[in-house]
Structure 1
């Protein structure tokens, strides 16, 4: 008598997975794409293993562009509180750390959460560019990382970083420490890290020196001519619509732009405040991007004013976006540095960062609420998830 063999539970699961995969492959490709466009990043990363066709679809530039556009149109930006560095600073195990429920706040369609990146560079470029973050240091290779897919790529030291290393080797520590800029050439779709630094402390004759990294050649190159004005290297450069922006360090503060396509510098307008030629005083000014607009924040005594650049009609004028009264905030004291504006969330609520906490300012009620308590070394960034990597552009 023949005994019928029963499948094990693992075998049954394998058969069911194979059946579902086979059924999925029978769907027309355009239907598959419409379904995949509505899925989160984690699901898409897993579904690349369904078939070679699904993998090539999800990794295609067209699909990634469409998925990213759909996500931006369907909801507001998220905010990632990015912790970087080693265990000495973060007190958690090496590797990715994703937010626990207590470290997540929902604001309308936006999510404020925490993430830790497994990198040792201690600085992060302002904001994100297409869901990519760029971490850097004056002495170690920079890293571009996608926190959603966990893709990352480092790139070699620039000439500026080598100059810093040479100065330290000579026990000379009085050299510029600018912030790295990171943005995208919107015409070619290529990402570009940019160092722009004041040259005099390195004994160079030019006013500033500019270096751009070319991922296709895996090399840095100089851009000549660089900015004719010294830059405020205390403030972070910001990226908007294919250009990077700096504040200048001169008698009359100007807003300087660097077109990432033509790689040319241009002064676009004066700043809405008189001057910031003194380096210490320049700490009172923060440039940022809010609601896809170039903004400058100015700390004056017990208040902080945020200005927005209006370029409608071809004329560039500054408009007062809002004012923050320190006496009415949760702190009730004047902070040493201005609060850093992060992003508008849930319509008219502005998220700000103080050195010790995240604060939500309601522009209608003028009220303030404390949100997540950040780690000692943590950078809140406005952020949309994406599937992008440098190699996909």
Structure 2
């Protein structure tokens, strides 16, 4: 350590940017300065082993790096719960990745190679694994259970990681139904783009989810809604503490990126102010929502660049880079991802460990 203190800080950063992720976890205890660096999103983005997207096909999972060139790497499938895939969805939970399956879910940090298999609740079928947040410093997962012949009402349930317990929450009648999509997790709170009426393109807002009751409540307005049913409308976390929203009109192909001006205060959505951050309206823009399976695009904002992952009408995955008011480059990753129609999501690597059973005290310390 004495020798390291004599090195310029810039050189220490460069050295750490080449250290494997599992080793970085141990280095957080070296000093407050090192811990602050390893929590810095800029450092994580600049790490030599960082990536921006996760893609999952029927047989393989890949990471996609974008700087300085696009690099696709196959990820190991030997993690518990991922020996076989058959994934229904991928959800970026800001620090962890949620992989929904027909018979359960896997919570995964692909950067650290840690995962945990979650057995489904025996009381409910057709569970849709939506997102991970935390309440009272305990990680929890929100799950939506659509109604069926035996269960006429939609239903919400949550899973407590520390106690390994499922908790049934309040059911919702048809009159109270909303249509949540595009979930993000920010500082433990889950936020959804929601519509109270699928036929009204102007009725979209952002709602929060209460783990205690299972109810959604309006948080703030969106700067825009859908003008057509197949418009792209995707919410993401921006710069670690704000929102961004991508919209693409299916008719004009115009792409708009909106961001919130200030940090999000979960206690007061009335303070949220949106501003237009980027607009792309040049000819020959790609369709970001493929019209066969209606999957929404995944995107990342890097400075003044917009990087998007989406599938075309044949199911092939593409990486699009936008900047300077135009499409800069497009890369089809067919050479790597052979199977069509891969699931995809953004994921910024983190050093947050996958929460384990019976570690309530450790989880509390992480959030202090």
TM-score, length of structure 2 as denominator length = 0.67
Residues 184 and 192 in structure 1, CA contact (< 8 A), matched pair in contact too = yes
1:43-65 superposed Cα distances (whole Å, 9 cap, x missing partner): 464699xxxxxx6x7699x9996
Q: How far 1:154 moved relative to its partner? A: 0.2
1:69 to 39, 46, 67: 39
- What is the rounded CA distance, in whole Å, between the counterparts of 1:290 and 1:58 in structure 2? 24
Cα offset for 1:215?
1.1
CA 1:349/1:125 → structure 2, altered by over 3 Å: closer, same or farther? same
The answer as to whether partners of 1:156 and 1:218 remain within 8 angstroms in 2 is: no
Q: Secondary structure at the match of 1:163?
A: coil
Larger Rg: 1
Alpha carbons 1:343, 1:350 under 8 Å: kept:
yes
Answer whether contact 2:109 2:115 (CA < 8 A) is retained: yes
Matches within 5 A, 1:1-393: 39=16, 43=20, 45=22, 66=36, 68-70=38-40, 72-74=41-43, 76=45, 78-84=50-56, 89-90=59-60, 104-107=65-68, 113-118=72-77, 119=82, 120-130=85-95, 132-137=96-101, 139-158=102-121, 162-164=124-126, 178=128, 180-185=129-134, 188=137, 190-199=138-147, 201-204=148-151, 206=153, 208-224=154-170, 229-232=176-179, 235-246=181-192, 247-250=194-197, 251=200, 252-259=203-210, 265-273=216-224, 282-292=229-239, 293-308=243-258, 310=260, 312=262, 314-325=270-281, 327-329=283-285, 331=286, 336=291, 340-345=297-302, 347-355=303-311, 356=316, 357-362=318-323, 364-371=324-331, 373=333, 375=337, 376=340, 377-391=342-356, 393=363
> 1:45–1:273: structure 2 CA closer, same or farther, 3 Å change rule?
closer
Deviation (angstroms), 1:113: 4.3
Change (3 A) 1:75 1:147: closer
Q: Which runs of 5+ in 1 are unaligned?
A: 1-23, 49-54, 91-96, 165-176
Deviation, structure 1 residue 304: 3.8
Between structures 1 and 2, the one with greater helix share: 1
Kept after mapping to 2: 8 A contact 1:122/1:136: yes
Distance apart, 1:358 and its partner CA: 0.8
Distance 1:205 1:142, change over 3 A: same
Q: Which has the higher strand share?
A: 2
Could you tell me which runs of 5 or more consecutive residues in structure 2 were left unpaired when the two chains were aligned.
263-268, 357-361, 364-368
Q: CA deviation at 1:224?
A: 3.0
Alpha-carbon distance between aligned partners in 1 of 2:208 and 2:258, rounded to the nearest angstrom: 16
User: Contact 2:204–2:225 (CA<8 Å) still a contact in 1?
Assistant: yes
Whole-Å Cα distance in 2 between the matches of residues 371 and 184 of structure 1? Answer: 34
**For each residue in 1:291-322, what CA deviation from the matched residue of structure 2 results, as whole angstroms up to 9, or x when unmatched?**
24142524341224435353649433443333
Q: What is the total number of aligned residue pairs between the two structures? A: 317
Shift of 1:288: 2.1
Q: Is the 8 A contact 1:80 1:113 kept in 2?
A: no
Q: Secondary structure at the match of 1:238?
A: strand
**Two-structure CA RMSD over aligned residues (Å):** 4.4
TM normalised by structure 1 equals: 0.64
The CA deviation at 1:121 is 3.9
Q: Is the 8 A contact 1:80 1:115 kept in 2?
A: no
Give the match's secondary structure for 1:158.
coil
Shift of 1:141: 1.8
The answer to whether the 8 Å contact 2:105/2:117 transfers is yes
- Asked whether the equivalents of residues 106 and 118 of structure 2 are also in contact (C-alpha less than 8 Å), the reply is yes
